[in-house]
Amino acid sequence: MSAPREINRRQPASGHGEGRTRAKLKPLGYTAVSALSDATSVIPREPVLVIVPCLNEEEYIENVVTKIAAEADRIDLKVVVADGGSTDRTRSIVQRISDLNPRIILIDNSKRIQAAAVNSAVRKYGENAKFLIRVDAHASYPDRYCETLLNVQARTLADSVVVTMRTAGQTCFQRAAAAAQNSVLGNGGSAHRNATSDRWVDHGHHALMTINAFTAVDGYDEAFSHNEDAELDVRLINNGFHIYLTSEVQAIYYPRGSFVGLFRQYFNIGRGRARNFLKHRKNTKLRHLILVAVAPAICLMMLSPFAGLCAIPALSWTLLCIGCGVVLGVRGKDACATAAGLAAIAMQAGWSFGFFRGLAPDAGKNGAATKADAPQDAAT
């Protein structure tokens, strides 16, 4: 995922996406309203549509949906779970809690990818809603998550409110992956993956969006199985909408539990980043260019039997990752986290090979979803 960067604000006009000109100003009314304390915050009465894309998430789905639905006592919420064809107990779990709570709705997502899940839910249930809140099934959220997002939007008048995301592991390998993803080793310094101050950005982990902004840019591009959030943010900014990164709430993401699973996930993310670049020709950061060099270095190593120097780039990268992982483990006093370097190797190599795959003309045809694919883009 590309890192949020501060951008010049545009003065809002009466309509979204039209009549806005560049200016070094925050949206009208921001300064006066943002100074309000929590005690004076107001819960909007407009309906809110919460969408939870999922696929084989029996381990997490009940906690996520019940936590979000509990806010319906204070907010007019409708929670739509869009299932991409789960083969585990995910559907039966959602159906059971839906029978007990009419605000929870289970729908089929025949296209399986998250972009299609959100688009379909908005088409079916978004007509009367003012706000869309996207929730990932492979994650956990704090109390009053939706309420906090709505209050941030009310104070800032943002068209999209994005949040920070932190990774937490349960198994030993997940803890190693979490240590990598929570550091520069795995996120490249991306602001929404690290402690950050509230500010206007051009991209972040999707949370709340006005239905008006979402539909004005025609929602997610369903040609993107991954990196669809970054691609949508490009179109939001191009159409004059505002994205605000808040640190008031944080999503907790649970990473893949194996080296192969992590490699596959980041392969898909890298492929999505390449396709995003080909579509918009922008927002490629320095860290992306560094990661692009990993795959050629690995391929170059195949020539090492004929020229030993060919192994130096890949070996240097490997040792650097392993060394950084050991440092992370020692600092965190976690023996499992010392393997963060191995997780980083899977992530960075997967991303790099995926990026080159995404440059191929037929890359968009290989967008099949996999389990928990990905909490938007999970990282880089």
In this model, does residue 2 exceed pLDDT 60? Answer: no
pLDDT at site 357: 94
48 part of a folded domain? yes
113 part of a folded domain? yes
Structure confidence at residue 115 as a pLDDT band (50, 70, 90): very high
Cα within 13 Å of Cα(59), Cβ side? 8
Q: What is the 3-state secondary structure (H, E, C) of the chain?
A: CCCCCCCCCECCCCCCCCCCCECCCCCCCHHHHHCCCHHHCCCCCCCEEEEEEECCCCCCHHHHHHHHHHHHHCCCEEEEEEECCCCCCHHHHHHHHHHHCCCEEEEECCCCCHHHHHHHHHHHHCCCCCEEEECCCCEECCCCHHHHHHHHHHHHCCCEEEEEEEECCCCHHHHHHHHHHCCHHHHCCCHHHCCCCCEEECCCEEEEEEHHHHHHCCCCCCCCCCCHHHHHHHHHHHCCCCEEEEEEEEEEECCCCCHHHHHHHHHHHHHHHHHHHHHHCCCCCHHHHHHHCHHHHHHHHHHCCCCHHHHHHHHHHHHHHHHHHHHHHHHHCCCHHHHHHHHHHHHHHHHHHHHHHHCCCCHHHCCCCCCCCCCCCCCC
123 part of a folded domain? yes
Tell me which residue of 142, 153, 125, 141 sits closest to 49, measured CA to CA.
125
We report the CATH number of the domain holding residue 90 as 3.90.550.10
User: Number of folded domains in the chain?
Assistant: 1
240 part of a folded domain? yes
290 part of a folded domain? no
64 part of a folded domain? yes
Q: pLDDT tens digits, residue range 359-372?
A: 988 766 545 444 44
346 part of a folded domain? no
Distance CA 262, CA 102 (A): 36
368 part of a folded domain? no
Task: Please state the φ and ψ torsions of residue 26, each to the nearest 5 degrees.
Answer: -80, 165
Task: Report the C-alpha dihedral over residues 265, 52, 173, 321, rounded to 10 degrees.
Answer: 50
How far is Cα of residue 227 from the mean position of the Cα atoms in its chain? 8
- Per the CB < 8 A criterion, the answer to whether 30 and 344 are in contact is no
Q: pLDDT tens digits, residue range 116-155?
A: 999 999 999 999 999 999 999 989 999 999 999 999 999 9
Distance CA 155, CA 232 (A): 23
In this model, does residue 98 exceed pLDDT 90? Answer: yes
Which of the two residues, 179 and 29, has the higher pLDDT score?
Answer: 179
In this model, does residue 379 exceed pLDDT 70? Answer: no
pLDDT at site 19: 33
Q: pLDDT tens digits, residue range 232-278?
A: 999 999 999 999 999 999 999 999 999 999 999 999 999 999 998 88
Give percent of the chain with pLDDT exceeding 70: 81
Q: pLDDT tens digits, residue range 31-67?
A: 333 333 444 456 667 899 999 999 999 999 999 999 9
- Per the CB < 8 A criterion, the answer to whether 96 and 104 are in contact is no
In this model, does residue 27 exceed pLDDT 70? Answer: no
pLDDT at site 29: 38
pLDDT at site 287: 77
Q: What is the mean pLDDT of residues 60-76?
A: 93
Residue 224 belongs to what domain range? 30-177+187-256
Give percent of the chain with pLDDT exceeding 90: 67
